[in-house]
A and B are shown apart, each in its own frame.
Chain A
Amino acid sequence: MKFAAVQEPAFGRGGLAAIGALLAVWEILGRMELTIFVPPASAVAEAWWGLVSTGTLAKAGASSLLSLAKGFVPAAFLGVALGLAMGRFRTVRYLLDGWINALMSAPLSALVPVLIALFGIRDTVVAATVFLFSFFVIVVNTMTGVRGTERSLVEMARAFGASEAALFARVYLPSALPAVMLGLRLGAVQAVKGMVVGEMLISLVGMGERLIYYGNTFLIPELYAVIVSVLLVAILSSTFVQTCERALVRWK
């Protein structure tokens, strides 16, 4: 089936086997005590459990997830809305296309000083970096989805008397939905990147702060434990969006 890729689970048996193999190699390398920067996987697991049982991870994680939500939810709503407008109205597209493209390809970390000036160094700035990292990819994917709507479907709907509003709701929107969901999924991954960048480079809160702290104090197993947790957050947010996608796009 040509759409099989969409239906595949995030982790099939092959994926689990690959992770198992990686963990085994990691454990062996760690036990060889080549350098303190490669502790065995079991030591990382132990450190991770330590962070969980003392509540350190929960505290840092809660702060991070809150920033993630505060940045990603507005980025999703505004990004989809702007993408729809740009896809549907040529004037809006002409006005904004250049800006969106420039900002999407710009190294956003360069904006850090501006962000500090605007939002200070409290956790609001983390939400702002999350927003900036995820917004543009959502806009561009949504716009591309709308513009990819089959012309023949638009003509058909017009022939059956669709108003502009009906055309949008019944043709453009459902047609763009898979691309919108892809944009949100990529946006969710970008959002986690934005979260870590914001927390490490600007704000020193949440999981980013823990990364810096354990790095500076050479608590390497703890450092890896936090890195693994950040990865888990990224995977879970992407999986969350994918689950929504499967519920919404059943026809593929």
Chain B
Amino acid sequence: MQALVGIDIEVKAGEFLSLIGPSGCGKTTLLKSIAGLQPVEAGRITIGARAVTGPGGAEASLVFQDFALLPWATALENAEFGLRLRGVPAAERAVAARRALAKVGLAGSFEQAYPSQLSGGMQQRVGLARALAVNPQVLLMDEPFASIDEQTRRILQDDLLRMWSEERKTVVLVTHSMEEAIYLSDRVVVLSPRPGKVHRVFEVPLPRPREALDVRASGEFARLVDELWRILKKMQ
């Protein structure tokens, strides 16, 4: 059985795009295909000029729902992991990893902490730092805040937006939170299940920087979430 058919999406450089849809719509499969972890049977995925043929490409980094931190490694060693696999010398690696940790708000004493000593939110900050440390063009995020409590999630969402506007990375985010999709994205791609295909592409015309403008409290935000909900409800 095919998980996905007829997916034709073009993500612009620097764009923040979300994938949403009921479970079984293949949104995570699609993200993993972009990361090269899931081979595609037909069709093509390109990042810039390069076709994705397998995992480990330098253009894109993944951020995982369960953080996927090495429990035996400190925050700094975890942030260095991608660079280490690429054979970057130790000194250079430490500098880049420290810079990435600082970007996600984990400078200083947290560097030497093991994942078990960090809260879920801080663990995902390390996961984000690991992805940023290799300096990819594209961040692929697989429900990164799904297992984090509501208050921390909001703070992380704001920090992500701030980081994104500074770094101008392209972000593709899988989520099942409608609020999260609307709050963060330029566009939301709604996928329908069995087999997964693009149901609707939803523009989010909310002004930026949203984290500074208190967009969550606006009527327009509520209206867009409601509109997205109407689309998703029809698919249930």
**A interface list, Cβ under 8 A from B:** 150, 152-153, 155-163, 166, 170-171, 174-175, 177, 249, 251-252
Contacts and interface: CB of A to CB of B under 8 A. Distances in A.
A251 B78 CA distance: 13
B85 A251 contact: no
A152 B85 contact: no
Contacts of B86: 161
A163 B54 CA distance: 12
Given A161-B56, A251-B116, A155 B85 contact: no
A177 B71 CA distance: 12
Best-buried of B37, B58, B71, B85 by chain A (most CB within 10 Å):
B85
Contacts of B116: 251-252
B68 interface: yes
Contacts of A175: 72
Contacts of A249: 72
Given A158-B37, A158-B55, A152 B64 contact: yes
Dominant SS among interface residues on chain A: helix
Interface residues of B, number: 25
A160 B85 contact: yes
Interface of B: 35-37, 55-58, 61-62, 64, 66, 68, 70-73, 81-82, 84-86, 114, 116, 130, 134
A251 B56 contact: no
A235 to B, nearest CB: 28
A6 B182 CA distance: 47
Contacts of A166: 85
Best-buried of B61, B68, B81, B134 by chain A (most CB within 10 Å):
B68
B102 to A, nearest CB: 20
Contacts of A157: 81, 85
A158 B114 CA distance: 22
A251 B81 contact: no
Contact of B85 (A150, A162, A174, A177): A162
A152 B66 contact: yes
